[in-house]
């Protein structure tokens, strides 16, 4: 068995995406539940890696991510509404990232009524490094404030306007930390909810054009 590393995860994801885009799948015909499609593709990709001789730690509910030894989570989303949820840990994730990298498979599902088959055409597969998984607008705003000689009060006021889910003490602690350790520019849109709602339109647009957001695979757009 070969140990899976991030470089091979990305290269195999590219090959898998091209193959899956040509694969007619009867079990997905008529399926509109995005979660069911996601479960299908996640399971199929892990099986694909195992069959190709790679060893890796399987994700669990305890680890919360799909490839814990690589610190990478796999996301599957429709191009029609490219978003998914992820566990909420703390407001810091909006500023300093989720704490792990993402490999995102974006698909466009088409049903063939005559053959009663579905095809998941992979439009984009993107790898987002952990440091770039913070919220775009919040990290941009905080970095702009620091570039314009902003102080702790300016940072607190900005974060308060953004309704970060923290109390006043934590808000102050965050502002002090941000001044000392400015965040990296993130590229996700992270909406507040019981779980974070991650939106991927920007990473699809920016893949291959900015640091830390890699275009692993580009399908042919219809």
Q: Is the pLDDT of residue 163 over 90?
A: no
3-state secondary structure of 171: helix
Q: How far apart are CA 13 and CA 127, in angstroms?
A: 10
Q: Residue 153's Cα: distance from chain center in Å?
A: 32
Cβ atoms of 29 and 116 closer than 8 Å: yes
The neighbour count for residue 40, using CB atoms within 10 Å, is: 17
Q: Is the pLDDT of residue 186 over 90?
A: yes
Cβ atoms of 123 and 158 closer than 8 Å: no
**163 φψ region: left (φ > 0), alpha (ψ -120 to 50), beta (else):** left
Within the chain, residue ranges assigned H as helices are 6-20, 34-51, 92-96, 136-147, 152-161, 168-180, 201-206
Cβ atoms of 152 and 177 closer than 8 Å: no
Q: How far apart are CA 142 and CA 175, in angstroms?
A: 9
Lowest mean pLDDT among 43-47, 62-66, 136-140: 62-66
The average confidence (pLDDT) of the chain is: 94
Output the pLDDT for position 92. 94
Q: Which strand (E) or helix (H) includes residue 3?
A: strand 2-3
Output the pLDDT for position 221. 60
Q: Is the pLDDT of residue 188 over 70?
A: yes
Output the pLDDT for position 195. 83
Output the pLDDT for position 61. 61
Residue closest to 67 by CA, chosen among 20, 127, 125, 14: 127
Residues linked to residue 109 through DSSP beta bridges, in sequence order: 120
Share of the chain above pLDDT 90, in %: 88
Output the pLDDT for position 222. 52
Output the pLDDT for position 35. 92
* Mean pLDDT value across residues 169-196: 93
């Amino acid at each position: 068995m070969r140990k899976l590393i991030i470089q091979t995860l990305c290269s195999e994801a590219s090959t898998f995406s091209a193959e899956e885009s040509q694969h007619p799948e009867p079990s997905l015909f008529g399926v509109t539940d995005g979660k069911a499609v996601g479960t299908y593709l996640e399971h199929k990709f892990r099986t694909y890696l195992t069959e190709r001789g790679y060893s890796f730690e399987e994700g669990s509910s305890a680890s919360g991510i799909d490839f814990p030894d690589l610190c990478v989570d796999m996301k599957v989303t429709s191009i029609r509404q490219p978003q998914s949820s992820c566990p909420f840990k703390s407001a810091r994730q909006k500023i300093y990232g989720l704490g792990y990298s993402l490999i995102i498979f974006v698909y466009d599902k088409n049903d063939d009524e005559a053959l009663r088959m579905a095809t998941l055409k992979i439009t984009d597969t993107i790898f987002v490094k952990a440091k770039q998984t913070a919220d775009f607008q919040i990290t941009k705003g905080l970095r702009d404030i620091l570039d314009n000689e902003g102080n702790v009060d300016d940072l607190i006021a900005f974060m308060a306007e953004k309704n970060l889910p923290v109390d006043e003490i934590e808000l102050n602690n965050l502002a002090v930390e941000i001044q000392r350790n400015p965040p990296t520019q993130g590229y996700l849109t992270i909406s507040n909810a019981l779980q974070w709602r991650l939106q991927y339109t920007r990473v699809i647009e920016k893949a291959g054009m900015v640091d830390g957001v890699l275009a692993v695979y580009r399908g042919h757009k219809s």
